[in-house]
Chain A
Amino acid sequence: MRMFDPRGRGGALLLLGSAFVFSGTLFSAGARQAAPTPDRWWSPGEQREWPELLSYPNDTSVVSILRTSKPIDVGTHPFFQPLGENGRACVTCHQPADGMSLSAATAQRQWAATGGKDPLFAMTDGANCANLKPEDPRSHSLLLERGLIRIPLPWPSKSIKGEPEIKIEVVRDPTGCNLDKTYGMNSASPTISVFRRPRPVANLRYILTVPNLFNIKTGYPVTLDAASGKRTSMNLMSDARLLTLKSQAEDAASVHLGATRKMTQAQLGQIEEFTSGLYMAATENRRVGRLDAAGATAGVQSILEGKPLLGDFIERRVFPYFEAWKSPEGTKQEKAFRASVARGEEIFMMRPFYIRDVTHLNTIIGMGNPIKRTCATCHNMQHVGIDGAPGWMDLGTNTLPWAERTDDLPLFKVTCSPKAAPHPYLGRVIHTTDPGRALITGKCVDVGAITLQQMRGLAARAPYFANGSARDLRAVVDFYDRRFEMKLTEQEKEDLTNFMGAL
């Protein structure tokens, strides 16, 4: 069995910053400092080792990545190579220490370490807009404060059949990019910029699973990938604009890496093989040690062995790991924490509240608005907590009236054609910081819809939601408490937070 043992695998575990002592697995930072530890940050083109199990501590836990593909030579593997002009590689934004995403804290650390010269801060999309002053933190405020990357999307999108149902106007343009003469909506190649968090590149077998031929949200078959002749999950990216790992990688190479030459089929194959063999999860918690101990079964192994099945069942739960912690063992402190995680799981699965006014959830034929259900209704796929259906929905994180009141993101006014049916809950005039799926389909019903992210390795990759609006897991819980009037007690909030941190 491949299990994580921080004492057993030299070099795999890196300790930086504060020296944690994880009870149960007790290791000391001092002992490791004899050999120079490679940095937490993976720079493109570096020659270093990617072991079978790679683990990094964060504030509350250890998040590990299990590699099931054959060993790779990081020095030549395309995921780690600066394939374009700006010096970035895939790993720049998909960092192992951050659960294969990128936390805002890491962006800040990298800024401090390089004076803003790291390729991460390439002006193309690592800045609020490409035309701002380089090496000035104000030009990169969205990346530094919220971990956001600029996503320029042509508008109207080529993927829209016929005329779009929606008209988009810029109401607020704090980055200047949407009204810019070169980069904006009225430029020679009209573009809308939205700002989104990198999504974890791991556990992809789940993300790519196609549970049904038909998408019950649209009544259409899920899209066919012409290259492979196979149906796709439509669960990649916030807006499902790319459907396969290959097309995603090609797009990323050109947009994020500034590659001018196409990747070869061999390179694409290498990226696909490596990334689809990565399994990532929290494996330890600072307060109780391993998350697959004392009867619990969380950690990477469960994802590796699991199947991408619907988990919205009492007898087949989404994260079926913590049953034993309902009557926990351990010291008083350990017991308290384990019990809290188990209660959090119970709340996630079982505590009903009214889910209301969420397009592509309440509008699913049969469900109704509102529907009294639980977190697991939407986060329903076992081991990862995505929605296999596929998962784009207008939860309200980016759309008024529910979105966080902020001045630092662009605000768009979307007007739906009187000829089209209105958005089922917001009508024909909608204010949003990210039109989401509608940027790809041009449909009124899709305005604001964002694809659920997976829920693993959360502790390593704050902030949360596609627009980084939840600073920490507690803020995620507070959002839901407000959005769905859940009336969670202080204890319930803490339990949910502890539970999510243990994923």
Chain B
Amino acid sequence: MRWGRAVLLAALSVSQAAYAQSAKRVSFVACPVLRDTHLPCWLADWNGETYYLGPQGDSAASFYSPQLKHRALIEATVGKGPRVCGGVPLENLSVSVMPEIDLSCSTILPAGEYESPVSPRGPGPAVRPHAPAPRPPEPQAPFVEKQFVLGFEFDSIFLARRNTNRLEEALRYARASNGRIRIETTRGASLLSDGTTIVERDAIATDRAERIVEILVDLGADRERIEHLASETPMPANGIDDPSRRRAVITVTP
């Protein structure tokens, strides 16, 4: 696919340059571990080190908490700050919950001397509702070709809230500009720190595309004006920005 390669190359050149200078990337599949601090925190062990993933969150959190009973794919940059909850902090973190059950993922560590991580809310209700997000302005002419990118967890076609928000945005733009919609989806792969590469399941790019079409049509888009291209050839994995290559790019052409 012509489009795929172009985006890919652009992504590689930027990110590789940026990461090569400073950051150490880690990618591994492991059981998540919960530490029972007043507000719990999530950790994962790999290769003799404990990493801190994030605090217990909610559906609006930027960090998506993992699941006991499931292993998780952790892809991140090793952070520089002090340890949190006993773990080395991670940045640019992507957590993917592996769909199959693994009952050995069951560890809850006692709080010990650790304190709750810093978080907007504790283990109960938040203090008050967020002020509702202002309604985005109606898209205005002049209309140009515009892209909306949705990211996915490894082996998942689920559209989390940030994706559904972006999808709505794309649809609003298509409506306002009377545009056509093209959806291009990928099947990702991830180069793990131990040198192995894991590839997403068969047909996942097609499933991603079909789900998005289904939702757009449900929301009132004209199926005749949507085309989709699913690339089932696994994206090359580099251990650097693999998460950003499990995606759907929605292009609206006025």
A residues near B (Cβ < 8 Å) are 213-214, 216, 219-221, 224, 309-310, 312-317, 349-352, 356-357, 362-374, 376-377, 421-422, 424-425, 427
Q: A314-B128, A357-B69, A366-B65 are in contact. Are A216 and B161 (CB under 8 A)?
A: yes
Q: Is B100 an interface residue when CB atoms closer than 8 A count as contact?
A: yes
- B67 near A424 with CB under 8 A, answer yes
Cα–Cα, bound, A225→B243 (Å): 37
Residues of A contacting B219 in the complex (Cβ-Cβ under 8 angstroms): 213, 221
- B59 near A365 with CB under 8 A, answer yes
Q: Is B159 an interface residue when CB atoms closer than 8 A count as contact?
A: yes
The residue in chain A whose Cβ has the minimal distance to the Cβ of B54 is A368
The residue in chain A whose Cβ has the minimal distance to the Cβ of B153 is A365
Contact with A along B218-230 (1 / 0, CB 8 A): 1100000000000
Q: How far is the CB of B30 from chain A (nearest CB, A)?
A: 15
The residue in chain B whose Cβ has the minimal distance to the Cβ of A317 is B125
- A350 near B125 with CB under 8 A, answer yes
Q: Which of A216, A313, A369 contacts B59 (CB 8 A)?
A: A216
The residue in chain A whose Cβ has the minimal distance to the Cβ of B60 is A366
Cα–Cα, bound, A303→B160 (Å): 32
Residues of B contacting A364 in the complex (Cβ-Cβ under 8 angstroms): 59
- B100 near A365 with CB under 8 A, answer no
Q: Is B15 an interface residue when CB atoms closer than 8 A count as contact?
A: no
Q: Is B40 an interface residue when CB atoms closer than 8 A count as contact?
A: yes
Q: A216-B59, A221-B215 are in contact. Are A368 and B124 (CB under 8 A)?
A: no
Cα–Cα, bound, A368→B72 (Å): 12
- A219 near B128 with CB under 8 A, answer no
- A422 near B56 with CB under 8 A, answer no
- B58 near A316 with CB under 8 A, answer no
Q: Which 9 A-B pairs have the closest CB atoms?
A: A368-B65, A219-B159, A372-B123, A365-B160, A352-B123, A369-B67, A421-B99, A366-B59, A315-B128
Q: Is B149 an interface residue when CB atoms closer than 8 A count as contact?
A: no
- A313 near B60 with CB under 8 A, answer no
B residues near A (Cβ < 8 Å) are 34, 39-40, 42, 56-61, 63-70, 99-101, 108, 123-129, 158-161, 163-164, 168, 215, 218-219
Q: Which of A315, A365, A370 contacts B34 (CB 8 A)?
A: A370
Q: Which of A362, A365, A424 contacts B101 (CB 8 A)?
A: A424
The residue in chain B whose Cβ has the minimal distance to the Cβ of A219 is B159
- B99 near A372 with CB under 8 A, answer no
- B161 near A365 with CB under 8 A, answer yes
Cα–Cα, bound, A315→B158 (Å): 33
A-B contact count (CB 8 A): 110
Q: How far is the CB of A484 from chain B (nearest CB, A)?
A: 13
Residues of A contacting B34 in the complex (Cβ-Cβ under 8 angstroms): 370
Q: Which of A224, A366, A372 contacts B218 (CB 8 A)?
A: A224
Q: A221-B219, A365-B158, A366-B60 are in contact. Are A425 and B69 (CB under 8 A)?
A: yes
Q: How far is the CB of B209 from chain A (nearest CB, A)?
A: 15
Cα–Cα, bound, A356→B108 (Å): 12
The residue in chain A whose Cβ has the minimal distance to the Cβ of B69 is A425
Cα–Cα, bound, A216→B40 (Å): 23
Q: How far is the CB of B230 from chain A (nearest CB, A)?
A: 18
Residues of A contacting B123 in the complex (Cβ-Cβ under 8 angstroms): 352, 372-373
Q: How far is the CB of B222 from chain A (nearest CB, A)?
A: 16
Residues of B contacting A424 in the complex (Cβ-Cβ under 8 angstroms): 67, 69-70, 99, 101
Residues of B contacting A316 in the complex (Cβ-Cβ under 8 angstroms): 128-129
Residues of A contacting B215 in the complex (Cβ-Cβ under 8 angstroms): 220-221
Q: How far is the CB of A216 from chain B (nearest CB, A)?
A: 5
The residue in chain B whose Cβ has the minimal distance to the Cβ of A161 is B214
Residue among A221, A356, A365 with most chain B CB within 10 A: A365
- B101 near A219 with CB under 8 A, answer no
Q: A214-B164, A220-B215, A310-B129 are in contact. Are A369 and B124 (CB under 8 A)?
A: no
Cα–Cα, bound, A155→B239 (Å): 47
- B158 near A313 with CB under 8 A, answer no
- B64 near A365 with CB under 8 A, answer yes
Q: A216-B161, A366-B57, A421-B99 are in contact. Are A371 and B125 (CB under 8 A)?
A: no
Residues of A contacting B164 in the complex (Cβ-Cβ under 8 angstroms): 214, 219
Q: How far is the CB of B95 from chain A (nearest CB, A)?
A: 9
- A213 near B59 with CB under 8 A, answer no
Cα–Cα, bound, A370→B106 (Å): 10
The residue in chain A whose Cβ has the minimal distance to the Cβ of B163 is A219
A357-B69, A369-B69 are known; give 10 further A-B pairs, CB within 8 A: A214-B161, A214-B164, A219-B158, A221-B215, A367-B59, A367-B65, A368-B64, A372-B56, A377-B125, A425-B101
- B160 near A313 with CB under 8 A, answer no
Q: How far is the CB of B175 from chain A (nearest CB, A)?
A: 15
Residues of B contacting A368 in the complex (Cβ-Cβ under 8 angstroms): 42, 56-57, 64-67
Q: A220-B215, A427-B101 are in contact. Are A373 and B69 (CB under 8 A)?
A: no
Cα–Cα, bound, A314→B127 (Å): 5
Q: How far is the CB of B21 from chain A (nearest CB, A)?
A: 32
- The 15 sampled A-B contact pairs (Cβ below 8 Å) are A214-B164, A219-B158, A219-B159, A221-B215, A313-B128, A315-B128, A317-B125, A352-B124, A367-B58, A367-B65, A368-B65, A368-B66, A370-B68, A371-B56, A424-B70
Cα–Cα, bound, A159→B66 (Å): 32
Q: How far is the CB of A467 from chain B (nearest CB, A)?
A: 25
Q: How far is the CB of B203 from chain A (nearest CB, A)?
A: 10
Q: How far is the CB of A401 from chain B (nearest CB, A)?
A: 13
- B125 near A366 with CB under 8 A, answer no
Q: Which of A219, A314, A357, A370 contacts B125 (CB 8 A)?
A: A314
